[in-house]
Amino acid sequence: TKRVFSFSEGNAGMKDLLGGKGANLAEMTRAGLPVPPGFTITTEACHSYFRMGSRLPEELLHQMDMAMDQLEVESGRQFGDPTTPLLVSVRSGSVTSMPGMMDTILNLGLNDETVAGLAALTNNERFAYDCYRRLVQMFGNVVFGIESYHFEQLLHRLKAEEKVQQDQDVSAQGWQRLIEQYKKCLTEEAGRPFPQDVREQLHLAVEAVFKSWNNHRAQVYRKINRIPDHQGTAVNVQSMVFGNMGNDCGTGVVFTRNPSTGENVLFGEYLINAQGEDVVAGIRTPMAITSLQIEMPEIYDQLAHSAQKLERHYKDMQDIEFTVEKGKLFFLQTRNGKRSAQAALKIAVDLVQEQILSKTESLKRIEVSHLDQLLHRGLDEAAVQQVVAVGLPASPGAAVGQLVFDADTAVEWSKAGRQVILARPETTPEDIHGLLASEGVVTSRGGLTSHAAVVARGMGKPCVCGCESILIIPEEKVLVSGERRIAEGAWITLDGASGRVIEGKIPLKEAEMTEELTAMLRWADDVRTLQVFANADNPHDAKIARQFGAQGIGLCRTEHMFFSPVRLPIVQQMILADSKEDRLRALQKLLPMQQSDFEGMFREMDGLPVTIRLLDPPLHEFLPKREELQQKLTRLIYDEQDSGKEQLELRRLIRKVDSLHEVNPMLGHRGCRLGIVYPEIYDMQIEAIFRAASRVIDEGCSVIPEIMIPLVGHTNELKILRELVDTVAEQVLGTAKKRNCPYKVGTMIEVPRAALTARQIAAHADFFSFGTNDLTQMTFGYSRDDAENKFLAHYIDHKLLPHNPFQVLDTDGVGQLIELAITAGKNVKRSLKNGICGEHGGDKDSIFYCHQIGLDYVSCSPYRIPLARIAAAQACI
């Protein structure tokens, strides 16, 4: 098998085999851009390495030798030769980009002899030894797993001895001394010396990169980003070019557009006289790319020109690494750039306007989970007072939380239900679990392309970085800003859009629709066939839903109208009533309240259907908890003041709570079972609906009520309750008005038996709405309220289930019931309307499935409507 490909042999289509970086290096080489020569070891080689029990196959070693020979010819240098030494970089390159997660070694090929050759060749002794000490450190760190602080301590001491601040001011002799110390440290820590044989260096480095596929941070990153573990990584071996040979050298990263805002300008950072990792690692804070235009105008023009060429070639915003060696520009990498949600949307829309992409291609590009982020949060500016510092606006959105200074604490506190903001001098890939657990992150060092910035943008978390006016001291758990010392646990607010760090808990504001989002949604609406409805329980939510483009209300949970402080006591009266008369009295008080809610909703949704579900939860949910009542009673018994009347009342309440107690309330007296046993409750709700309809029709609105019966499991349940609806409608509206109120009666399908007997049930239903929360609960037999915390997380961690079935619809099981019900229902009644209103209605994968099986609509929370509109369009493309 061919396991090694020269850059001139591959192309962009070979991503699975060469990894993203390798495929793109090959593509750039083919396009004639200046890329230092090199070769890629395939992902397949990585698999065989692990298959052979972590050993490099003989055949691979042979192919690597041949590739090195070719590289020697191409570069005119010799690997391990003391007079014209060839140096290479060894970098990971997975199929899906995982920035900073895996390992890299630079300057490989240096040893005690070749370093002298490099010094002579470049006429720069200081430079050569600087390269060598970097190699020994990276090698020790990556290959032998020696913690960086061992080396950093030594470097720190050297700089103190030489009385210099910056690395580039250390003398050649200083570096030579440091190298000896590094080598000693390496021998002590690793138990073996730094290898002088350059081929051994290469083999160990390739192995280390393979192994880094399975390091902790890479595993966590894959899990978050749903990257399959079996992909493996490729390794790129490339001849070195040097950005650190003097002031006519440099290195940097550019994005072809601003990755935070999407603005169409070259964006990026660079450092003069520095080597690759210095920019990304955030050790020195780099210069904005615009100053390169002044410092090296020709290089800037060449860079800008090639960047645009690359963007056109890939039809997407590119993230490009470059190095300037003695006035000559080289490209080291290009890839589709990570970007904020806002930028993603703007770029996708702009690329259509610039005629680079079609509308459908552009729609396909939208990562719907990112839209969530767009539709949230800015600061309530009026409340902003104490701005502690302004750093770089690295990832937009506002976040509020309590300050923590290390990733583990972030995880611990967030597990305990606290919101946290992670503050670090800089972040490294080791902090990734902390980033994930926090609301946002702030760093004092590093630029817009530093690790914290890149990762936060990818996760959609607000981030402020390079906040140099503050000191973040993790050892003391304190953030220092001038005189102010802010300790762990203090509330802090970040604004990732402006870079502000603000003391205290500032109220956040929901985001508004942007021009770009509106355009994208319009394109989506032109394409999609699936309708998008909202789950909304009150006029305010209905209004928001309509603004976001809801085509109707798919679920109004009427019990949510019962929970306000004014209404709850009346609802309790209704439940506690000893006689039907008492219950009717309480219901009469509730009627006008419900009516006014419905009027508000009908007005907001003028001309669109409003699906109202009759009361669903078990009644005990409206009563106080038994333990609380018991405690109150105990207190009363000891309280001399009490006449006994209150005690009597409490005891009655406790008896009632006891009588409503059920062992399995979710399988108990709820849903339509309530309406059957206490028809007066549903009677009141139906009357309120039609009275409201009547009034709003009189105001000139078009009202389309759809009355929905929950938890039906037997056709007779629906039959009886449908008759009730028709009778009340007739009574309230009268025959004439009924004609102006084209109401429907339908049922939720959320009990498996309902799905199985859909043929009988459809005879009495105008529509089916799949309540996939309960349907999932009852199909799996998993309690929707407990499963996640008890065993489901374990199941998902151990890959027993591909997803949490309460988030992503289980198409194999629950889906079968849905498909069966749709087919059976439509056979009986062609006009039967089908939709879904469980949580799955706002989940991308589930929406794709709903489209596939021919549902008419999905219904989801108002804020997810834009996401659902785009996902519904993507499902058609």
Residues annotated within a binding site for Mg(2+)? 750, 774
Angle made by CA atoms 207, 209, 215, in degrees to the nearest 5: 110
Segment interacting with ligand PEP (CB under 6 A) among 86-94, 119-127, 185-193, 768-776: 768-776
Which stretch, 115-123, 418-426, 484-492, 772-780, contacts ligand PEP (CB under 6 A)? 772-780
Query: Which residues are part of a known binding site for substrate?
Result: 557, 613, 750, 771-774
As measured in angstroms, the least distance from the Cβ of 564 to ligand PEP is: 18
Of residues 126 and 613, the one with the C-beta less far from Mg ion: 613
Closest approach of Cβ 841 to ligand PEP, in Å? 9
472/442 Cα distance (integer angstroms): 9
Tokens encoding 643? 């006449």
Q: Of 178 and 708, which has the nearer Cβ to Mg ion?
A: 708
Binding window for ligand PEP (CB under 6 A); candidates: 34-42, 271-279, 656-664, 766-774:
766-774
Quick one: 596 or 773, whose CB is closer to ligand PEP? 773
Q: Which is nearer to ligand PEP, 464 or 545 (CB)?
A: 545
Size of the site for ligand PEP (CB under 6 A): 10
Q: Looking at beta carbons, which residue is closest to Mg ion? A: 774
Conformational region of residue 769, where left means phi above 0, alpha means psi within -120 to 50, and beta covers everything else: beta
Amino acid at position 25, single letter = L
Position 557 contacts ligand PEP (CB under 6 A) = yes
Q: Which residues pair with 704 in a beta bridge?
A: 609
What is the smallest separation between the CB atom of 318 and Mg ion, expressed in angstroms?
Answer: 47
Q: Between 705 and 835, whose beta carbon lies closer to ligand PEP?
A: 835
Contact 292, 252 (CB under 8 A): yes
- Positions in 609-668 near ligand PEP (CB under 6 A): 616
Q: Which does 837 bind (CB under 5 to 8 A by kind): Mg ion, ligand PEP, none?
A: ligand PEP
843 binds ligand PEP (CB under 6 A): no
DSSP assignment of 438-490: SSEEEESS--TTSHHHHHHHHHT--EEE--TTSEEEGGGTEEEETTEEEETT-
Query: Is residue 350 involved in binding ligand PEP (CB under 6 A)?
Result: no
Catalytic residue check, 305: no
Per-residue buried b or exposed e for 744-768, using 16+ beta carbons within 10 Å of the residue's own CB:
bbbbbbbbbebbbbbbbbbebbbbb
Q: Residue 208 binds which one of ligand PEP, Mg ion, none, with CB within 5 to 8 A depending on kind?
A: none
Beta strands in 274-339 (DSSP E): 287-288, 318-325, 328-336
Question: What's the closest the beta carbon of residue 753 comes to ligand PEP, in angstroms?
Answer: 15
Distance CA 704, CA 686 (A): 14
Whole-angstrom distance, CA of residue 458 vs CA of residue 511: 19
The verdict on 807 binding ligand PEP (CB under 6 A) reads no
Q: How far apart are CA 260 and CA 868, in angstroms?
A: 24
φ, ψ of residue 251 to 5 degrees: the values are -155, 150
Chain positions 390 to 449 lying near ligand PEP, rule: CB under 6 A, are none
Instruction: Give the span between the Cα atoms of 71 and 86, in whole angstroms.
Output: 9
CA angle 338, 340, 343 (to 5 degrees): 100
Q: Which residue reads 């009717």 in tokens? A: 584
Q: Distance between CA atoms of 485 and 465, rounded to whole angstroms?
A: 19
Give the residues across from 555 on adjacent strands.
535
CB of 559 to ligand PEP, least distance (A): 8
Annotated binding site: 557, 613, 750, 771-774
The interface partner of residue 557, options being Mg ion, ligand PEP, none and the CB cut-off 5 to 8 Å by kind, is: ligand PEP
Q: Where does 94-168 have alpha helices with state H? A: 114-122, 125-142, 148-161
Q: Which stretch binds ligand PEP (CB under 6 A): 285-293, 387-395, 770-778, 795-803?
A: 770-778
Cβ-based nearer residue to ligand PEP, 599 or 750:
750
Residue 669 beta carbon to ligand PEP: minimum distance, rounded to whole angstroms? 15
The side-by-side arrangement of strands in the sheet containing 38-41 is 4-6, 38-41, 233-239, 88-94, 104-108
Burial group, residue 679, by CB count within 10 angstroms (0-12, 13-18, 19+): middle
Q: CB of 180 within 8 A of CB of 173?
A: no
Least separation, in Å, of the C-beta of 597 and ligand PEP? Answer: 17
d(CA 536, CA 590): 20
Helix (H), strand (E) at residue 270: strand 267-272
Contact pick of 140, 391, 458, 771 for ligand PEP (by CB under 6 A):
771
Does position 810 bind ligand PEP by CB under 6 A? no
Could you say which of 370, 451, 840, 851 is catalytic?
Answer: 451
DSSP run (H or E) holding 401: strand 398-404
Radius of gyration, alpha carbons of the chain:
33
Q: Of 202, 703, 712, 837, which lies in the binding site for ligand PEP, with binding defined by CB under 6 A?
A: 837
To ligand PEP, the closest distance from the beta carbon of 838 in angstroms equals: 3
Query: Looking at 246, 268, 552, 838, which residue binds ligand PEP (CB under 6 A)?
Result: 838
| Minimum distance of ligand PEP from residue 43's CB (angstroms) | 42
For residue 589, which of 610, 572, 608 has the smallest C-alpha distance? 572
CA 50, chain centre distance (Å): 31
Which of the listed partners (ligand PEP, Mg ion, none) does 838 bind, with a CB threshold of 5 to 8 Å by partner kind?
A: ligand PEP
773 contacts ligand PEP (rule: CB under 6 A)? yes
Q: Which residue lies nearer to Mg ion by CB, 114 or 779?
A: 779
Return d(Cα 84, Cα 132) in angstroms, integer: 15
Of residues 186 and 674, the one with the C-beta less far from ligand PEP: 674
Residue 319 binds to ligand PEP (criterion: CB under 6 A) = no
Residue 554 touches ligand PEP, criterion: CB under 6 A: no
Helix/strand/coil (H/E/C) assignment for every residue in 482-515? CCEEEECCCEEEEECCCCEEEECCCCEECCCCCH
Calculate helix-pair angle for 715-738, 679-698, nearest 10 degrees: 30
Q: Which stretch binds ligand PEP (CB under 6 A): 281-289, 445-453, 769-777, 823-831?
A: 769-777
**From the list 130, 439, 706, 774, which residue makes contact with ligand PEP (rule: CB under 6 A)?**
774
Which of 325, 495, 750, 766 binds ligand PEP (CB under 6 A)? It is 750
Active site residue 837: yes
**In this complex, which beta carbon is closest to Mg ion, that of residue 503 or of residue 774?**
774
Binds 333: which of ligand PEP, Mg ion, none (CB < 5-8 Å by kind): none
CA–CA gap between residue 672 and residue 717 (Å, rounded): 7
Count Cβ atoms below 10 Å from residue 24 Cβ, excluding itself: 28
836 contact choice in Mg ion, ligand PEP, none (CB below 5 to 8 Å, kind-dependent) = none
Per CB under 6 A, does 597 bind ligand PEP? no
DSSP category for residue 641: T
Q: Is 498 in the site for ligand PEP (CB under 6 A)?
A: no
C-alpha dihedral sign at 789, 790, 791, 797:
positive
647 sits in which H/E element: helix 645-660
Catalytic one among 185, 556, 837, 860?
A: 837
Burial class from Cβ neighbours inside 10 Å (0-12, 13-18, 19+) for residue 611 reads buried
CA–CA distance, 62 with 1 (Å, rounded to integer): 12
User: What is the smallest separation between the CB atom of 811 and Mg ion, expressed in angstroms?
Assistant: 19
Binding site for Mg ion (CB under 5 A): 750, 771, 774
Residue closer to ligand PEP by CB (options 275, 776) is: 776
Taking alpha carbons only, the member of 585, 561, 565, 558 closest to residue 573 is 585
Closer residue to ligand PEP, CB minimum distance, 185 or 751: 751
CB of 876 to ligand PEP, least distance (A): 25
Binds ligand PEP (CB under 6 A): choice among 104, 772, 834, 861: 772
| Binding piece for ligand PEP, criterion CB under 6 A, among 394-402, 420-428, 572-580, 771-779 | 771-779
Residues that bind ligand PEP (CB under 6 A): 555, 557, 616, 750, 771-774, 837-838
Residues taking part in catalysis: 451, 837
